[in-house]
A and B are shown apart, each in its own frame.
Chain A
Amino acid sequence: MEFINPDVVDLSRFQFALTALYHFMFVPLTLGLTFMLAAMETVYVVTGRQIYKDMTQFWGKLFGINFAIGVATGITMEFEFGTNWSMYSHFFGDMFGTPLAIEGLMAFFMESTFVGLMFFGWDRLSKQAHLAVTYLVALGSNLSALWILIANAGMNMPEGAHFDPETMRMQFESFVDLVFNPDAQAKFVHTSVAGYVSAAMFVMGISAFYLLRGQHRQFAARSFRMAALFGIISTVAVITLGDVLGRLDYEKQPTKIAAIEGLWHTSNPPFEPWIVAALPDDARQENHYEIGVPLVLTPLITHTFDQPITGMHELEDEAGPRIRSGIDAVAALRRYGVTHSSTDLAQFTAHEQDMGYGLLAIRHAPGQDVTAIPADQIDDVVKATQPDILPNVFVTFWSFRLMVFLSLWFFALFAISAYLSLKRRLERSRLLLKLCMWSIPLPILATEFGWITAEAGRQPWTVFGWLPTFLSASSHGVSYMVFSLVGFVLLYSVFIAAELYLMFKFARLGPDHDSMEPHTPAAPRVSAFDMRPMAS
């Protein structure tokens, strides 16, 4: 049997995280801006006032700059499951591929087809038809998020599939369970609304920039107010749904919730403190410098005052018997692949639910073969595997906290901004306007931390409880990974440089200069630049 190269697994994980986090810098803005554009255009169609059309077109231009990279880097994501996670694709693709394909059919096709008309159709469509097109783009991008998060929920809480020893993979068995996975529903709203927060901050921050400079004042004040109201509603929703997700993790992913809260020992309801800050030490399995608020943790996570939350040490202990049983499952499964005998099948079925834990032991088995562990070494293998069931606590703990602290900041900022904006006292509050401007990147940062919390907290699994991450990667050599990583870093750096250059350029130009050649307003029909020959 070929050996698993841990370096390749780490590089594959690093590449996936890099490309996913990068992609996700652009997605939230797309999700939110489409709806804000639709809202602005609705006001335009209803009132017929030109300023709302200008707003739609100006923010639409910034949307386009952002959208292009979102599309480009999204293609990477769809390729990467196949190029780097072949075992995962084989093992879980029957179920996971379905929402991805539906995403293409139902959402991405719609968004991509109509986005062309949204940009190019202003003079070709009636006002109402163009408005409909803008709504279809918004609907498409949000449906797209829905199906991606349904797929993601399948990884975190695999429901609607079962393992089949004949095909050696998870077989899809219930579309309803796939779609109505509670994790998917909560995550979709949480994530798309986080996108609205990002878009609101983006529009509010750039509008604040104009107000600070006293430019485009009417335009900026209107945009600011719409964004602040959109933002406050969205922030409340994002926090509420985050709470729902925490409760779900408590039920279905106890390792994730324990890591998020840095909870090494089972909690003591109702007094257990919520740890505000600490230095979790993964090697020694304890926290340093803990600061906590008593009484908060139990109601926060369990929504009760008396239910305990299992700690990580206890979870490790509980995993012991499952690993032992899982090793039997894997051994029986391998025998069954050769013999196809009913005895082996019966043995496998008896231990089936623990198979994932048996696979987890592969790294610690002699010769990476759990099917032939000498009887006297089984205890050692089980013991060595037990800590592997936990994610990296430091990363999970802190990414969660940074996300939460940022969301509280957004709440305060949007609330004050909305209030002052409605009271029309905005332009005197220069500090607030500056804070709004500087906060533009923060919601994007918060969504990145959210992704890290969810996916780092899912470890060590790609399919929670069934397929370990280290088994999921393609069997590449290190050189392949270096090739692709170098390429991604170079290419993505060029992208971000070009995007920031254009973003700043057009934001500085502002809505009045919404023209390609700002220096030649309506002068010659075709400028000299356009007709001069290009060097070939």
Chain B
Amino acid sequence: MELYAILKIIWAAVLGVLFIGLGTMVGMDMGVGTLLRLVGRNDGERRTALNIIGPHWDGNQVWFILGGGAIFAAFPTLYGTSFSVFYVVMITLLFSMILRPVAFEYRSKADGRLWRAGWDWVFLVSGFVPMFIYGAAFGNVLEGVGYHFGWTGQYYQDESFLSYLLNPFAILCGLMSVGLSVYQGGAMLMLRADDPIWSRARRYAMGGGLVAGTLFVIGGIWVRFLPGFVMTAPVNPAMPANPLHGQSVAMVAGGWMHNFHAHPALWMLPLVGLGCMLAGVAMLAAGRTVAGWWLGLGAWAGTITTVGCAMFPFLMPSSTTPDQSLTVWNSTASEYGLGCMLVVAGIFVPIILSYTSWCYYVMRGKVHTADVVNDTHSY
């Protein structure tokens, strides 16, 4: 296989890792945001919950930024097309997301009741909405998106944005993503808080995990009957990255199951995902929170890899002009660009992982309400 094709596959895998990191780390913080009003019944408890992720949310959020940056650098055409086609959804995601940094920094810096209660609602919106849209976007992509390209490479949208919002399958995927984020957020609260936050968080986290597991199974059966996309002629994986020609694609009912039929070993992935969700719920029930947290990571990994392997090599298929579907082969950066980025990522990802771990190590241990309330530096 040519080097360019190998680089394309590696970057598709990197994208998957980023999506897993994003789901786990950002999902965790957003789950805490969603749960904030439920696990904290008074101001001190809510501040405790916020300060548990206080030192980490900003770093975690970079997974989101980096996800965007990596798509831009490694899949520029996918970046431009997907962000634009999903405009209304993406802008809604953006609006809800950018409220969060401000909410963290500002909520506890003034003590009006309305001020704080208002920001608490902001945490709910900025936790729930982005994770819902994150999941729903996967749902929409699985169903195919209506767009085509003009000769210059400009995309043109062929359907209303309402079809992305009012779409039962996408809503299911969105709720599953929220379920996993509530699970992860709850597990983190259990790691760092005492009762009563601990037991409330446990209840919601277990609920989130069970919802996610149930929806994962229903979604899996649904996809079996959903029209999927398949290549109808051999394609050159090392082709120049240009969606205008070089592929012939058809929509086939159950098309997303083809990769699983061809490689039965792939069935391990959804099983790992579902297994982690169920085992995680059991662990939290038993009070084993560290294991529960890591199983949440496993649940995200199983889910994202399942979707990725079902769709491979498709990234965002076009339902109106299937031949122009964006795939791993036709929407990547150049060979040189992918190579450069791989070297850079190879240097910096280990560094990032080590200092992130160090930060968690420094801030380890339980967070106590009394300390939070008396610390002038806390949120």
Where the two chains meet, the residues of A that have a C-beta atom closer than 8 Å to any C-beta of B are: 1-2, 57, 64-65, 67-69, 71-76, 78-79, 81-98, 100-106, 108-110, 112-117, 119-122, 124-125, 164, 166-169, 171-173, 175, 334, 337, 471, 474-476, 480, 483-484, 487, 491, 495, 498-499, 501-502, 505-506, 514-517, 525-527, 529-536
Report whether B65 and A108 are in contact in the complex, using a CB–CB cutoff of 8 Å. Answer: yes
Q: How far is the CA of A173 from the CA of B335 in the complex (A)?
A: 9
Nearest-neighbour CB distance to chain A for B82, whole angstroms, equals 7
Report whether B336 and A173 are in contact in the complex, using a CB–CB cutoff of 8 Å. Answer: yes
Q: Is B352 an interface residue (CB 8 A)?
A: yes
Report whether B59 and A113 are in contact in the complex, using a CB–CB cutoff of 8 Å. Answer: yes
Which residues in A have their C-beta under 8 angstroms from that of B59?
Answer: 109, 112-114, 116
Report whether B376 and A515 are in contact in the complex, using a CB–CB cutoff of 8 Å. Answer: yes
Closest to A70 in B: B101
Which residues in B have their C-beta under 8 angstroms from that of A527?
Answer: 373
- Residues 317-368 of B contacting A (Cβ, < 8 Å): 333-334, 336-337, 340-341, 344-345, 348-349, 352, 355-356, 359, 362-363
Report whether B83 and A86 are in contact in the complex, using a CB–CB cutoff of 8 Å. Answer: yes
Report whether B106 and A65 are in contact in the complex, using a CB–CB cutoff of 8 Å. Answer: yes
Which residues in B have their C-beta under 8 angstroms from that of A474?
Answer: 80, 84, 87, 155
Nearest-neighbour CB distance to chain B for A528, whole angstroms, equals 10
Could you list some 10 contacts between A and B, CB below 8 A? A72-B102, A81-B83, A91-B153, A97-B337, A116-B58, A122-B377, A166-B242, A474-B155, A498-B106, A526-B369
Report whether A101 and B72 are in contact in the complex, using a CB–CB cutoff of 8 Å. Answer: yes
Which applies to chain A's interface (DSSP): helix, strand, loop or mixed?
Answer: helix
Which residues in B have their C-beta under 8 angstroms from that of A103?
Answer: 69
Q: Is B287 an interface residue (CB 8 A)?
A: no
Report whether B153 and A169 are in contact in the complex, using a CB–CB cutoff of 8 Å. Answer: yes
Report whether A97 and B58 are in contact in the complex, using a CB–CB cutoff of 8 Å. Answer: no
Closest to A60 in B: B377
Report whether A89 and B79 are in contact in the complex, using a CB–CB cutoff of 8 Å. Answer: yes
Q: How far is the CA of A119 from the CA of B156 in the complex (A)?
A: 46
Which residues in B have their C-beta under 8 angstroms from that of A100?
Answer: 69, 72-73
Closest to B337 in A: A172
Which residues in B have their C-beta under 8 angstroms from that of A90?
Answer: 76-77, 80-81, 153-155
Report whether A71 and B80 are in contact in the complex, using a CB–CB cutoff of 8 Å. Answer: no
Q: Is B120 an interface residue (CB 8 A)?
A: yes
Report whether B109 and A525 are in contact in the complex, using a CB–CB cutoff of 8 Å. Answer: no
Instruction: Categorize the interface residue count of chain B.
Output: 35 or more
Which applies to chain B's interface (DSSP): helix, strand, loop or mixed?
Answer: helix
Q: Is B254 an interface residue (CB 8 A)?
A: no
Q: How far is the CA of A506 from the CA of B66 in the complex (A)?
A: 33
The 5 closest A-B pairs by CB, nearest first: A93-B76, A82-B83, A89-B80, A97-B73, A68-B105
Q: How far is the CA of A535 from the CA of B150 in the complex (A)?
A: 54
On whether A72 and B87 interact (CB within 8 A), knowing A67-B105, A475-B154, the answer reads no
Report whether B152 and A87 are in contact in the complex, using a CB–CB cutoff of 8 Å. Answer: yes
Nearest-neighbour CB distance to chain B for A46, whole angstroms, equals 23
Report whether B91 and A82 are in contact in the complex, using a CB–CB cutoff of 8 Å. Answer: no
Nearest-neighbour CB distance to chain A for B20, whole angstroms, equals 16
Which residues in B have their C-beta under 8 angstroms from that of A122?
Answer: 377
Q: Which interface residue of B37, B76, B79 has the most chain A CB atoms within 10 A?
A: B76
Contacts A69-B102, A116-B363 given; 15 further ones with Cβ under 8 A? A65-B106, A82-B72, A83-B87, A87-B154, A89-B77, A93-B79, A94-B337, A101-B344, A104-B62, A105-B69, A105-B348, A113-B356, A167-B241, A173-B336, A484-B87
On whether A98 and B337 interact (CB within 8 A), knowing A72-B101, A526-B373, A534-B120, the answer reads yes
Q: Is B94 an interface residue (CB 8 A)?
A: yes
Nearest-neighbour CB distance to chain B for A307, whole angstroms, equals 37
Report whether B151 and A529 are in contact in the complex, using a CB–CB cutoff of 8 Å. Answer: no
Q: How far is the CA of A74 from the CA of B61 in the complex (A)?
A: 12
Nearest-neighbour CB distance to chain B for A300, whole angstroms, equals 38
Report whether A172 and B334 are in contact in the complex, using a CB–CB cutoff of 8 Å. Answer: yes
Stretch at the interface among B38-46, B193-201, B203-211, B220-228: B38-46
Report whether B242 and A73 are in contact in the complex, using a CB–CB cutoff of 8 Å. Answer: no
Nearest-neighbour CB distance to chain A for B231, whole angstroms, equals 20
On whether A88 and B80 interact (CB within 8 A), knowing A98-B341, A100-B69, A534-B41, the answer reads yes
Report whether B109 and A475 are in contact in the complex, using a CB–CB cutoff of 8 Å. Answer: no
Q: How far is the CA of A120 from the CA of B43 in the complex (A)?
A: 19
Closest to A485 in B: B91
Which residues in B have their C-beta under 8 angstroms from that of A526?
Answer: 44, 369-370, 373
Report whether B348 and A106 are in contact in the complex, using a CB–CB cutoff of 8 Å. Answer: yes
Nearest-neighbour CB distance to chain B for A386, whole angstroms, equals 22
Which residues in A have their C-beta under 8 angstroms from that of B152?
Answer: 87, 168, 471
Report whether A104 and B66 are in contact in the complex, using a CB–CB cutoff of 8 Å. Answer: yes
Q: How far is the CA of A115 from the CA of B377 in the complex (A)?
A: 12
Q: How far is the CA of A68 from the CA of B107 in the complex (A)?
A: 12
Report whether B58 and A120 are in contact in the complex, using a CB–CB cutoff of 8 Å. Answer: no
Nearest-neighbour CB distance to chain B for A118, whole angstroms, equals 9
Nearest-neighbour CB distance to chain B for A177, whole angstroms, equals 12
Which residues in A have their C-beta under 8 angstroms from that of B1?
Answer: none
Report whether B73 and A98 are in contact in the complex, using a CB–CB cutoff of 8 Å. Answer: yes
Which residues in B have their C-beta under 8 angstroms from that of A334?
Answer: 151
Closest to A527 in B: B373
Q: How far is the CA of A448 from the CA of B84 in the complex (A)?
A: 27
Contact of B369 among A68, A88, A117, A530 (CB under 8 A): A530
